[in-house]
Amino acid sequence: MNVFDCHFHIETGLERYDIDVAGKNIIFNSFDSYYQYKDKATDADSISLIFDYREHFEDIMEILQTKKIAALKIHNRVQKIGAADYPLLLEQLEEAKPTVPIIVDSFYFGDDLEFQPNLRNIINIAKKLPDVPVIAAHCGGIEILKYFYHLKSLENIFFDLSFSLAYLRHASVYTDYKNLIKYGNPGKILFGTDYPFVNAKLQLDAFTEIANEMNISETAREQILFSNAAKLFKK
pLDDT band at 12 (very low <50, low <70, confident <90, very high): very high
- Determine the average pLDDT of the residues in 169-189: 97
Task: Write the pLDDT tens digit of every residue in 19-59.
Answer: 999 999 999 999 999 999 999 999 999 999 999 999 999 99
User: From residue 81, how far is each of 54, 117, 121, 190, 234 by CA, in Å?
Assistant: 11, 9, 11, 25, 29
Amino acid in the structure at residue 96: A
| Number of neighbours of residue 133 by Cβ within 10 angstroms | 22
Residue 234 has a pLDDT of 85
Q: Which residue, 75, 166, 164, 155, is CA-closest to 121?
A: 75
What are the extents of the domains in the chain? 4-233
Residue 1 has a pLDDT of 85
User: How far is residue 45's CA from residue 118's CA, in Å, rounded to a whole number?
Assistant: 29
User: How far is residue 130's CA from residue 196's CA, in Å, rounded to a whole number?
Assistant: 32
pLDDT band at 120 (very low <50, low <70, confident <90, very high): very high
Identify whether the C-beta of residue 225 lies closer than 8 Å to the C-beta of residue 217.
no
CATH class of the structural domain 4-233: alpha beta
